[in-house]
Amino acid sequence: MARHIITPRFYPRQIEFLEAKARYIAFGGSRGGGKSFIMRWKVILLALNQPGIQILLLRRSLSELRENHLIPLQKMLKTQDKDPNNRIAHYKEVTKEFLFENGSRIKLGYCDSENDVLQFQGQAYEVICLEEATHFTEFQFQALTESNRPSGLMANPFPPRMYFTCNPGGVGHAYIKRLFVDRKYHGRENPDDYVFIRSSVYDNKWLLENDPEYVRTLENLPEKRRLMMLDGSWDVYENMFFDDFDPDMHVIYPRKLPSNYRLYRTLDYGLDMLACYHVVVDNHNNIDVIHEIYEPNAIVTDAVELIKQATKDLGFMERDVDLTLAPDDLWSRNAQTGKSTADLFYSKGITLTKVNRDRINGWIWMKDTMRVNRVVTPEGIIKSTKFKIFNVCSNLIRCLPLAQYDEKKGNDMSITPHEITHSLDAIRYFCTYWVTAPRDVDHIRPKNKIKWTEDMIEDYYNGSDYVKRRMVSLYGEIT
């Protein structure tokens, strides 16, 4: 077989990708940046220059794999040339792999479902390539890292690497953005292992010369879609659930609270995560999310203490809290103990108010609460919103732009990645409960008129939301 191939003239960003030597190397950004093109050349050059190297090239679906890589690679490697001497590699259809005379191999694969990635367990590849990496879940990425190790088939060992091409959006947007764009690392993740090379359609000289209309089409897109498609913005992307979220509008520095307000706590709780927010609403229906608790693996006792301490640290007493809102599943009773999570919270000193978990309507109310109003004036467009988040609520601010629509339930938010859903669910419960501004803002904290008896407390605890509000208005807060 022939061992040489004529390479095209690569542009600077592509050369940077070809020469990068970090453990994890990503190339992406806008449309038309030549991502698939350079990934094909990368695996070919590795196979020719690193005898015995084992390479795994993945797409999410078989159809994408065939159109983007299988057919182009067969042509580039001349696997179907009538003269065997002209063939650069041999292609085996059954195993979907290109075999080179020097012992190198390019294996093609796809992962339609999340668990398809498990088929590669126990295998070893010096190089693993994820095409359109944001279409792969974080679980799939982590599972593949276990197979990214020396194969033992190379005479000169090659340091294991993973290569990614990607655009903003997709189920893997959050972890790709965290690792390569925001560069925020957890545990033993080493920042030096991650390199991101931002591609742009303007770098692609061939496309600019041969299809200038394509670039003009991208330039004429509506603002948000243009930011995504042309600029490759990782803060705006297709399928973004809270597409009205604007950090410049919604995020503020902590400010002095109004003289009249209601104070709520709203939480999403499970053994994997406690997400709790203190929310202040004034008599003009302005809403400030002023504090967040985002704590994994908190048992009920710890969760209650965290919430109480945060309330105290903010300068409030427990009696200053109008209601602590929680989803209705916390009232499900344990079959063995007969107690619910709400019972446990109550026994530790926090009375929860039940909120319906209706997801679709809840998201509608949350989006309506967060909406940005735009008024056209002679001076320009004036934007305003009644929903503000103090910048100390870092996880809520991080998770809002990462949420995506569920692919199968058009009006629902995707529950993947699960980690980002806790803070958003907690705010949804507040928005579900909070429909209108308080009418009696001058009497938002009535003083206790009589001492609550055990029977009264039991009636309150077992009552509906209306009963709870009515009892508080008549008797004051529980002491």
| Claim to verify: residue 199 and residue 303 sit in the same structural domain | no
Q: Give the count of domains, the chain.
A: 2
How would you classify residue 85: left for phi > 0, otherwise alpha for psi between -120 and 50, otherwise beta? alpha
Structure-derived torsion over alpha carbons of residues 358, 363, 364, 368, reported in degrees to the nearest 10: 140
Same domain, 276 and 322: yes
The pLDDT of residue 443 is 33
Q: What integer pLDDT is reported at residue 247 of this predicted model?
A: 87
Clarify whether residues 212 and 307 are in a common domain: no
Query: Two tokens at 285?
Result: 């229906």
User: What is the domain range of residue 380?
Assistant: 249-445
Query: Do the domain assignments include residue 234?
Result: no
Q: 276 and 171 in one domain?
A: no
User: Looking at residue 222, what is its pLDDT?
Assistant: 67
Task: Give the end-to-end CA distance of the chain in Å, rounded to a whole number.
Answer: 86
DSSP codes, 204-225:
-HHHHHH-HHHHHHHHTS-HHH
- C-alpha 320: how far from its chain's center? 34
Residue 80's SS3 state is coil
The domain boundary residue, chosen from 229, 263, 285: 229
User: Is 387 part of a structural domain of the chain?
Assistant: yes
Phi, psi dihedral angles at 416 (to 5 degrees): -120, 135
Tokens for 210, please give them. Answer: 């041969």
The CATH number for 97's domain is 3.40.50.300
Question: Same domain, yes or no, for 101 and 188?
Answer: yes
- Picking from 62, 24, 158, the residue whose alpha carbon sits closest to that of residue 103 is 158
Same domain, 111 and 44: yes
Low-confidence ranges of the chain (pLDDT < 70): 1-4, 32-33, 222-225, 227-228, 435-451, 465-467, 469-479
CA–CA dist 308, 94 (Å, integer): 62
For residue 190, is it within any domain?
A: yes
pLDDT at 296: 92
CATH assignment at residue 346: 3.30.420.280
The predicted pLDDT at position 288 comes to: 96
* Residue 65: per-residue pLDDT: 87
**Whether residue 223 is found in the same domain as residue 292:** no
Residue type, 355: V
Reading the block at residue 273, the tokens are 């995560």
Q: Are residues 302 and 365 in the same domain?
A: yes
Is residue 50 one of the residues assigned to a domain? yes
